[in-house]
């Protein structure tokens, strides 16, 4: 039973290799970039891939999809991003699990064992936030007021908060406060994520 660790930081790879040495019976293989990860996954057919999506060159969801299509090894994403949106995108793309780099060693071992046993795993704290975000988004943008929808449309078109304030005739602070309310309703933490949601769901049209 082998594990492939894909991360561009040698210290992270070394720490994970040491942690998993007593958990898996087979070798723990390391890759520092996406291209090496594809090659090693093809040659070793690991039982699990632990993947950082933030890699130089080939990385992100593209690499995740190619690894899944290539070999079918279950993938646990281990990322610096703790926002529910990132977890949802990775899980929807086919990841078997998602955890942040703030996860405790014990919980990471639990995640590895569960996925190796054929299950799925999302870091406990993130799973709760993800459930809340999914619940908030279940009502779609119906929960947003006309003013909030208008701000979303303008954000999707590339307007800054200051430009939106000028366009709708209110102060910058008012727009910033409304943007915070939208984030809370949709379960995201960054304006960039609001823009992405607006574009993906057609709110910009």
Closest of 203, 5, 193, 184 to residue 89, by C-alpha: 193
pLDDT score, position 47? 93
Q: Is 17 exposed, middle or buried (0-12, 13-18, 19+ CB in 10 A)?
A: middle
pLDDT score, position 205? 46
Within this chain, domains 3-134 and 139-201 share the same CATH topology:
no
The domain ranges of the chain are 3-134, 139-201
The CATH class of 3-134 is alpha beta
Cα distance between residue 28 and residue 12, in whole Å: 13
Cα distance between residue 78 and residue 49, in whole Å: 10
**Low-confidence residues in the chain, pLDDT < 70:** 129, 131-141, 198-205
> What is the DSSP secondary-structure string of 117-163?
TT--EE-HHHHHHHHHHHHHHHTGGGGS-HHHHHHHHHHHTT--HHH
Cα distance between residue 179 and residue 189, in whole Å: 10
Assigned CATH topology for domain 139-201: Arc Repressor Mutant, subunit A (1.10.10)
pLDDT score, position 103? 92
Per-residue pLDDT reduced to its tens digit, 138-183: 555 677 888 988 998 888 888 889 999 999 999 999 999 999 988 8
Residue whose tokens read 């590339």: 158
pLDDT score, position 63? 92
């Amino acid at each position: 039973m082998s594990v492939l660790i894909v991360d561009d930081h040698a210290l992270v790879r070394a720490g994970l290799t040491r942690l998993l040495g007593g958990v898996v019976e087979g070798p723990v293989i390391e890759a520092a970039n996406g291209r090496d990860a594809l090659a090693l996954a093809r040659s070793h057919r690991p039982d699990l891939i632990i993947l950082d999506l933030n890699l130089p060159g080939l990385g992100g969801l593209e690499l995740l999809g190619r690894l899944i299509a290539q070999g079918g090894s279950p993938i646990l994403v281990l990322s610096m991003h703790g926002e529910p949106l990132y977890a949802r995108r990775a899980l929807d793309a086919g990841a078997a699990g998602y955890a942040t780099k703030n996860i405790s060693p014990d919980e990471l071992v639990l995640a590895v064992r569960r996925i190796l046993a054929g299950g799925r795993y999302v870091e406990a704290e993130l799973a709760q936030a993800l459930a809340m975000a999914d619940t908030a988004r279940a009502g779609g943008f119906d929960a947003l007021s006309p003013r909030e929808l208008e701000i979303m449309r303008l954000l999707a078109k590339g307007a800054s908060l200051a430009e939106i304030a000028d366009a709708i005739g209110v102060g910058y602070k008012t727009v910033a406060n409304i943007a915070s309310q939208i984030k809370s309703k949709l379960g995201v933490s960054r304006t960039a994520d609001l823009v992405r949601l607006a574009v993906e769901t057609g709110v910009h049209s």
